[in-house]
Amino acid sequence: MSISITPPVYPTLDLLSAITPFASVSGQIDQQRALAQWLEDWIRAELGGIPVLAVSEQTSHSAPPLVHLRIDRQAEKTLVLYNMYDVMPAEATGWEFPPFSGGVTDWPGVGEVFIARGAENNKGPLAGMLMAVKSLCDSGKLSVNIEIILEGEEETGSGELRRYLAQDPCPVSTASAVFFPSLCEYGGGEPRVYLGFSGLSGGRLKVSGGKWGGPSAAIHASNANWIANPVWRLVAALNAIAPAHNSGVIARQVIDEEASRLLSTLAAQFSIADELTFRRSETLSVSGDTLACLQQLINGAVLNISEIRSDPLDSRGVIPCGASAEIALRVPPGIDGESLLTVIRQTLSRPEFDGVELELDDCYPGHRFAHHSPGVDALLTSYEMQGAKPQIWPWAPGCAPAYTFARVAPAFLIGGLGHGGNAHGVNEFVTLRGLERFQQSVTDWITEFSNGPPFSTPAV
């Protein structure tokens, strides 16, 4: 049922409702360009931002535009606010509201929620971030220079952003910290602080019929005794590079002393049962006590398979002419992702894998920073100001392009209070209470950051 909107978050919900209808999904470049232009226009009108790279000047017909504006307060400090406007695809089946329209309802035990694609990841936090800056601008309390940079490829490797930041000179000003506002009260639990992020290599394995065997077009399955099936070769290749019994884990590293201390503290307050409920799962693929499980969560490089397809699809009783698997190699800081890719390529070069091709879309490494880097203490304070007890992680099992900002600032922080869920799934949501807490925590972080000690220029 629809309900009235809670007044404190009404302007933020208005903004979120305005950007939700843009189907800013990979491959829908017109929708992405339209949303990028809309966001640039809003930031100029509402925040007084000056474009550093205008959307209209970006002429690529394949890459979604970057949105990069600067709010210059002639202040001693600068911070970079980074976010994303791309979202995952969504079909309407199973949703309480159309995913690209959204709506507000009440869930028993959860409260008022806004349901839409991107509500949690990451249009909801994007709207809250922009409204937090607006509240500081409108009150005259913004006492730090702000660079806002938004991308439309976070879900697919951040290639355009990484190339943009690699320019010399870098178009983003040197800053004390980069902040990626996100809802970090996962499952409604205590908020997390990550001191680093895993790297990502995304792409696919492809197999086509050819000289090795396999048909050049789908043929009747009665020939399976003497004509090879590309799907079987794909399965064999996947098992060779990431044995199934390890659930895709292909390398692990020893946890260092600092990370061990943080994990030991975290283990004392972490609930595996709550995490399983949040992740909609019944059991873990690893064993041991809470500390051992946390160590295995973050210390392994893992190959995830999100999709396996045959060509043609939905054809029973045939030997397909091709097969492919969408893969993502997630590598924690400390493990060399390039070396792992070299080993994978060497494995696939063996004669039994003729016809198997590794096709990578993009790659970036993991990145880690120190416990008391600029912005970390301010983030902890922003949580504590609303009564939350932060969980400090050595680094995240998830991926973010933190390394690409290393030449800009000494820290890349994901942070923010707020409860959302079902990211990338059906009925993705953010609680209205969570959206309010999120916006307040971002406002508090910027304020605490502004009032903190000066910073040293990061090494390039």
Q: What share of the chain is helix, strand, coil (3-state, %, to 5)?
A: 35, 25, 40
Give the pLDDT of residue 157: 81
Tens digits of residue pLDDT in 406-416: 989 999 999 99
Does residue 309 share a domain with residue 431? no
Number of neighbouring beta carbons within 10 Å of residue 223:
13
Q: Taking the mean position of all CA atoms in its chain, how far away is CA 448?
A: 25
pLDDT (0 to 100) of residue 9 = 65
Check: CB of residue 334 under 8 Å from CB of residue 310: no
Same domain, 334 and 392: no
Do 91 and 167 lie in one domain? The reply is yes
* Position 185 pLDDT exceeds 90: yes
Question: Measured between alpha carbons, how far is residue 344 from residues 185, 230, 250 in Å?
Answer: 36, 19, 10
Which whole number is the average pLDDT over 180-189? 90
What is the pLDDT at residue 189?
86
Tell me: do 321 and 354 sit in the same domain.
Answer: yes
At 125, give phi and psi (nearest 5°). -60, -35
Which one has a higher pLDDT value, 372 or 68?
A: 68
Residues 226 and 88 in one domain: no
Residue 159 lies in a domain: yes
Does residue 188 lie in a domain region? yes
Give yes or no for residue 401 having a pLDDT over 70.
Answer: yes
Same structural domain, 152 and 209: no
Entry pTM: 0.86
User: 390 lies in which domain range?
Assistant: 7-195+369-451
The domain that holds 242 is classified in CATH as 3.30.70.360
Distances 229 to 218, 308, 338, 359 between C-alpha atoms, Å: 10, 14, 31, 20
**According to the model, what pLDDT value does residue 453 have?**
65
- Share the mean pLDDT of the chain: 93
pLDDT tier, 457 (very low <50, low <70, confident <90, very high otherwise): very low
Listed in sequence order, the residues at least 6 apart from 54 whose beta carbon sits closer than 8 Å to its beta carbon are 40
* Residue 151 placed within a domain: yes
Contacts of 294 (CB under 8 A, 6+ apart): 263, 266, 267, 270
What's the whole-number mean pLDDT along residues 162-190?
92
pLDDT tens column, 290-321: 999 999 999 999 999 999 999 998 888 999 99
Mean of pLDDT values over 357-371 = 92
Lowest-pLDDT range of 5-14, 63-72, 86-95, 299-308 = 5-14
* Residue 213 within a domain: yes
- Do 247 and 388 lie in one domain? The reply is no
Q: Are residues 332 and 443 located together in one domain of the fold?
A: no
CATH number, position 447:
3.40.630.10
- Rounded to whole angstroms, what are the CA distances from 336 to 167, 332, 352, 404? 24, 9, 27, 16
Q: Tell me the two tokens of residue 209.
A: 């019929």
* Whether pLDDT at 8 is above 90: no
The answer to whether residue 123 sits within a structural domain is yes
Q: Is the pLDDT of residue 218 over 90?
A: yes
Cα–Cα nearest to 422, from 132, 71, 121, 131:
121
Return the pLDDT at 5: 38
Do residues 181 and 216 share a domain?
no
The confidence band for 454, taking pLDDT boundaries of 50, 70 and 90, is low
Q: 112 pLDDT exceeds 90?
A: yes
Each residue's pLDDT tens digit, 141-171: 999 999 999 999 988 888 899 999 999 999 9
pLDDT in tens, 30-43: 999 999 999 999 99
Backbone CA torsion sign across 279, 427, 123, 328: positive
Q: Which of 364, 394, 410 represents a domain boundary (last residue)? A: 364
Residue 459 has what pLDDT?
Answer: 34
Rounded to an integer, what distance in angstroms lies between the CA atom of residue 120 and that of residue 132?
17
Let me know if residue 261 belongs to a domain.
no
Of 343, 364, 385, the residue that ends a domain is 364
Residue 460 falls inside a structural domain: no
Q: Angle at the Cα of 35 (from 87 to 17), degrees rounded to 5?
A: 75
Residues 428 and 307 in one domain: no
- Of 315, 334, 364, the position where a domain reaches its end is 364
The tally of domains found in the chain comes to 2
393 in the same domain as 326: no
Asked if residue 140 is part of any domain, the answer here is: yes
Q: Region 246-252: what's the mean pLDDT?
A: 96
- In this structure, what are the phi and psi dihedrals at residue 293, rounded to the nearest 5 degrees? -65, -40
pLDDT at 4 over 50: no
Mean pLDDT over residues 391-412, rounded? 92
Same domain, 236 and 129: no
User: What burial letters (b/e) apply to 33-67, b meaning 16+ CB within 10 Å?
Assistant: bebbebbbebbeeebebebbbebeebeeeebbbbb
Pick from 445, 424, 184, 407: nearest CA to 280: 424
Please, which pLDDT band fits residue 331 given cuts at 50, 70 and 90?
very high
Question: Alpha-carbon distance 388 to 386, whole Å?
Answer: 6
